[in-house]
Amino acid sequence: MIQRVIIQLGLKIYRSYAHVSLVFFYCLWNNSFIIIPVKVRKVNMLTVLLFLGILSLLVFVHEWGHFTTAKKCGMKVYEFGFGFPPRAIGWYKDPVTKRLVRVVGKGKNSLKETVGGGERVQEFPSTLYSINWLPLGGFVKIKGESGEARGEKDSFVGRPVWQRLLVLVAGVFMNFILAAALLSVGLMIGLPADFSGGIDERAIIVEPPSVLVQHVLDGSPAEQAGFQLGDTVLEIDDVSILNASQMIAYVRDHNETPLTVLVERDGVLSTKEVTPADLDQSGERRLGVVLADAGVIRYPWYHALWRGIAAAFFGAVNIIVAFFYLIKNLIIGEGLAFDVSGPVGIAVLVGQSARLGFHYLLNVTAMISLSLAVINFLPIPALDGGRALFVILEKIFRRPVSMKHEQLAHTIGFLLLLGLIVIVTVRDVIGLF
C-alpha cells in the first residue's frame, strides 16, 4: 500500500532497502490531518519556511471553502482571517456608506476568542476580513458554529441540515479541487513519472529518464561513500547506466569488489568509491540506495485536465485505504505496520521534493492537499467529517445531539489525535540525532 502511495508522487521505488515512513500530521489550528510517505532527515530553516508556506496555503484554501459556502447559505460570518492573532489589520464594509472601514490591531486578539470557545458577540456590522501576525493558514468564525443562536436563521445551527453539511464539506472539496488543479496544471507543464514500465504514447517527454537516488539507507555503504538524495547515477566502472534495473543487476554481479560510481549533483560530476555490503545478514550484498527511473512528462491540456482529476480521485482512494489499515492495526493491537512521522517528517518531504525540482514540489503539494481533503472527510470526532456525522444524526433522529455530548466527543477525538501526533513527533525529533 505504501508503494502505491509513493507511485502517486511519480517515483517507482526499488524497495530492497527503502525506509519509507508515513507522515502523520495534525494541524492544531484547523483540525487537519495529513498522511503521506517520507524518510525523515535533518531539517534546515529554508525547508521549515517552505513547509509552513505550503501548509498555510492549503489551510487557507480549506477555510476559504467553509467561508464562501457559509456566506452563500445565508449564515453570518463574524470574521475571515489570514494567519492567526494577534490581528495586524482588517477591513469590513460599512452597511450604510458601502465603504471599506479599516481596523488596525484592535478588537479580540486572542487565538481562543477568534477560533474557539463558545458564543462570541459580533464586533463589527459586517464580516471582518483580517490579516494577522502569525501567517500560518487562516480561520473563519461563523455565527452559531458552537451551538448558540439555534433559533436564528443566520446562525449555522439555524440553517437546514443540507446547508450545514455543505459548509462542513466545503473545505474538503476546496482541497480536492486544489489538488486536482495542481495535478492538471502540472501535467500540462510537466510532472515526474516512472519510466520503468514505459509511458503513455500520448505523453510528451520534458526531461528524459535518469537513474535518480531517491533515498540513502542510514549506515549503508552508499551513505559512507557520500551518496545523497537527488544524485543522478551516470556510470559504474565506466559502464553507462541507462536504468535502475541495470544498476541493480551490475551491483549484484560485482558485489564483492569496490565499485566506482560516477554521479551528477547540481550539475557537478563526482565519483564515489563504494563496496557493497550485506546489510541485513541475508547473504546478499547491496549498496543501500533506493533508485528510480525518474523523468518528467507532460500532456496536451485536453488530456492533462481529466488526467489530473483522475489522479486526484485515485490518490484519494489510496489514502483512504492506507488510513483504514493504520486505524485497523491500532485497534486490534498490532501496532503500526510502518513508521509514522509527524510535522518534522512532512517538512522533510517538502524540502526533499524542492531539492529535486519544481515539478516534484508541485506534485508533493498536490498530494498534501489531497491528504488534507481525504482525512478531514473521515467521520472522526474533531474533524470536519466527525462534525458532519453529528449533523446527519440530527437528521436521522429528528433532534440535535446534545451540544454537551457532541463537544465531549470532539474533545476526546482531538485528544486522541493530539496524543498520537505528540508520540510520533517525539520519535521524529529523536531520529534526527
pLDDT band with cut points at 50, 70 and 90 for residue 406: confident
Q: What is the pLDDT of residue 433?
A: 56
User: What is this structure's pTM?
Assistant: 0.76
Beta carbons of 80 and 129 less than 8 angstroms apart: yes
**Residue that is written with C-alpha cell 459548509 in the block:** 167
**CB atoms < 10 A from the CB of 226, how many?**
15
259 vs 123, more confident: 259
Q: What is the pLDDT of residue 218?
A: 83
- Neighbour-count burial of 357, counting CB atoms closer than 10 A to its CB (0-12 exposed, 13-18 middle, 19+ buried): middle
Beta carbons of 229 and 352 less than 8 angstroms apart: yes
Per-residue b/e over 150-186, b at no fewer than 16 CB within 10 Å? eeeebbbbbbeeebbebbbbbbbebbbbbbbbbbbbb
**Most confident by average pLDDT, 31-40, 45-54, 165-174, 213-222:** 165-174
Map out the domains of the chain with their CATH numbers.
1-13+29-72+159-202+300-433 (no CATH), 75-151 (no CATH), 218-287 (2.30.42.10)
- Locate all alpha helices (DSSP H) within 276-400, ordered by sequence: 301-331, 343-356, 358-377, 384-397
Q: Quick check: 162 pLDDT over 90?
A: yes
163 vs 348, more confident: 163
Q: What is the pLDDT of residue 427?
A: 63
Per-residue model confidence as pLDDT tens digits over 71-109: 999 999 999 998 888 888 999 998 888 899 898 875 555
Cα 89 from chain centroid (whole Å): 29
Per-residue model confidence as pLDDT tens digits over 181-214: 999 999 999 888 878 777 888 888 888 888 988 8
**Complete DSSP assignment for 194-229:** E-TT---TT-EEEEEEEEEEEEE-TTSHHHHHT--T
Q: Quick check: 118 pLDDT over 80?
A: no
Q: What is the pLDDT of residue 335?
A: 58
Percent of the chain's residues with pLDDT above 70: 78
Which conformational region is residue 378 in: left (phi greater than 0), alpha (psi within -120 to 50 degrees), or beta? beta
Closest CA to 212 of 317, 63, 359: 359
What is residue 380's DSSP assignment? -
Per-residue model confidence as pLDDT tens digits over 254-265: 888 899 999 998
- Mean pLDDT, to the nearest integer, of 288-315? 89
Q: How confident is the prediction for the chain on average, in pLDDT?
A: 78
Q: What is the pLDDT of residue 348?
A: 65
Q: Quick check: 294 pLDDT over 70?
A: yes
Element (H, E) at 52: helix 45-72
283 vs 155, more confident: 155
209 vs 18, more confident: 209
Question: Is residue 291 helix, strand or coil?
Answer: strand
**Residue that is written with C-alpha cell 472539496 in the block:** 173
Q: What is the CA radius of gyration of the chain?
A: 25
Closest CA to 93 of 120, 125, 121: 125
77 phi, psi to nearest 5 deg: -110, 120
Q: What is the pLDDT of residue 17?
A: 26
Closest CA to 76 of 17, 154, 149, 1: 154
In angstroms, the CA 53 to CA 72 distance is: 28
Q: What is the pLDDT of residue 4?
A: 28
The CA angle 225-277-236, to the nearest 5 degrees, is 55
What is residue 402's DSSP assignment? P
Per-residue model confidence as pLDDT tens digits over 362-405: 888 888 898 889 888 888 888 888 889 989 998 898 888 877 88
Per-residue model confidence as pLDDT tens digits over 140-150: 999 988 777 77
For CA atoms 240, 241, 246, 250, the dihedral sign is: positive
In angstroms, the CA 259 to CA 221 distance is: 11
Q: What is the pLDDT of residue 35?
A: 39
Looking only at the bridges linking them, the beta strands covering 21-27 and 339-341 are parallel
pLDDT band with cut points at 50, 70 and 90 for residue 18: very low
Q: Quick check: 273 pLDDT over 90?
A: yes
Single-letter code of the amino acid located at 23 = V
Q: 358-377 vs 161-189: helix axis angle to the nearest 10?
A: 160
- Mean pLDDT, to the nearest integer, of 415-428? 72
pLDDT band with cut points at 50, 70 and 90 for residue 114: very low
343 vs 391, more confident: 391
Contacts of 117 (CB under 8 A, 6+ apart): 146
pLDDT band with cut points at 50, 70 and 90 for residue 425: low
